[in-house]
Every structure is written in C-alpha cells, then in structure tokens.
Amino acid sequence: MYKFWQKTIQILSVLILIATFFFVIWLYKIGILNDQNILKEFLEKQGSLGSFTYILIQIVQVVFPVIPGGVTTVVGALVFGPLLGFVVNYIGIIIGSIILFWLSRTYGRKFCLLFMKEETFDKYESKIDDKRGFEIFFILCMLSPISPADAMVMITGLTSMSYRKFITIILICKPLSIISYSYFWIYGGQLIQQFFNK
C-alpha cells in the first residue's frame, strides 16, 4: 500500500508540474502575469480574504511540495507589492515549514520518501551524523534562495533538533531567501535587459 501511495504522489507531482506550466501560460495570455493590476483587482475584490487565500496557497505548497514554490513566491511579491508581498510569503512559508517539520518528525523516513527520490534522501541524510556540520548546512540552505528548502526541512525533522531551534533558524533565515528570490525574478530580467541595451 505504501509503494502505491509513493508512486501515486510521484505521478501526481509530475502532473501538477505539467498543469502548472500550462496554467502559467494561461495566466500570461489573460494578462495576469504581464499585468499585475488584473490579479490585484481580483484579490482586492476579496478584501482581506485575498491575502488569507494567498497565505493558504503558500502553506499548501510547502507542506505538499509538488507545487513549484518559486512561482507562488514571485506572484506574491508582484500582486501584493514589496512589503505586503514579503509578509504574506513569510507567514505562509513559516507556517508551512513548521507543519512539514512536524509531519517529518511524526511519520519519519517513509513520509520523506513520498516526496523525494531515495538517492536524494540518502545524500542529505548522510549529513545528519555530523550534528554541528548539519546545523550549519541547514542554516545555509534556509538562507539560500536556490536550495531545496522543503527537502531540507523534511530531513531536519528526522534529526534531534528541537522545535525551538528549528523555528528560530527559519524565522531568522527565511527573510533573506524570500526577498532575494522574489526580487531576482522581478527585477533581474529588467537589469539584464538594461545592461544589454546600453
């Protein structure tokens, strides 16, 4: 039964990735991705529910790591603006990370293998033995905007790291990765274009 669910989730991951790709194309065609005002209007009509809905989306994409988190993170910054976009991203990602850590600690290795390949799992799990080295590695991953953050949260759930230390690390480190990831994708393209147009 476990093998069945493992395979089902792996297939679902691929299908969601494909669906996300076509969904992004559709969003672009109707103007949401290239005109943030359209999506802003939609969310503004919902009032406070718009930001609440977005936070829930971020929680889900962390806890169920088959939805590309990068897409939702950038959309948050585009739709809500730099400040509120950061806040809703931060809240959703922190809550989702704590839930994912708890699930990994509660259900162990089998839970982790539902969402990652065994080779990937073994590669990161091998670092657990060096407790101090692993903590530093985990901190660096939480600071980096391009690290496999969700996988690292799951692996960390298998260690003896306390909830207090885990929450402290992500509360301090996550702002840098959220800001750098969001602003790189929003403004990076513009900077590159300006550079080549000079």
Kindly list the domain boundaries of the chain, sorted by start residue: 46-197
Q: What is the dihedral of CA 93, 148, 40, 83, to 10 degrees?
A: 60
Q: Helices in the chain by DSSP H: which ranges?
A: 2-29, 36-45, 48-63, 69-113, 118-125, 131-143, 149-156, 163-197
Confidence band, pLDDT 50/70/90 cuts, at residue 75: confident
The average pLDDT across 165-188 equals 83
pLDDT, tens only, 132-152: 899 999 999 999 888 888 889
* 21 pLDDT above the threshold of 70: no
Percent of the chain with pLDDT over 70: 74
pLDDT for 102: 92
* 34 pLDDT above the threshold of 70: no
* 32 pLDDT above the threshold of 90: no
The average pLDDT across 155-163 equals 93
Confidence band, pLDDT 50/70/90 cuts, at residue 65: low
The rounded mean pLDDT for the chain is: 79
Identify which has the larger pLDDT, 1 or 92. Answer: 92
pLDDT, tens only, 90-140: 999 999 999 999 999 998 888 888 888 888 888 888 888 888 899 999 999
Q: What is the dihedral of CA 113, 116, 120, 123, to 10 degrees?
A: -50
pLDDT for 100: 93
Considering the entire predicted model, what is its pTM? 0.74
181 Cβ contact list (under 8 Å, min separation 6): 70, 73, 74, 145, 146
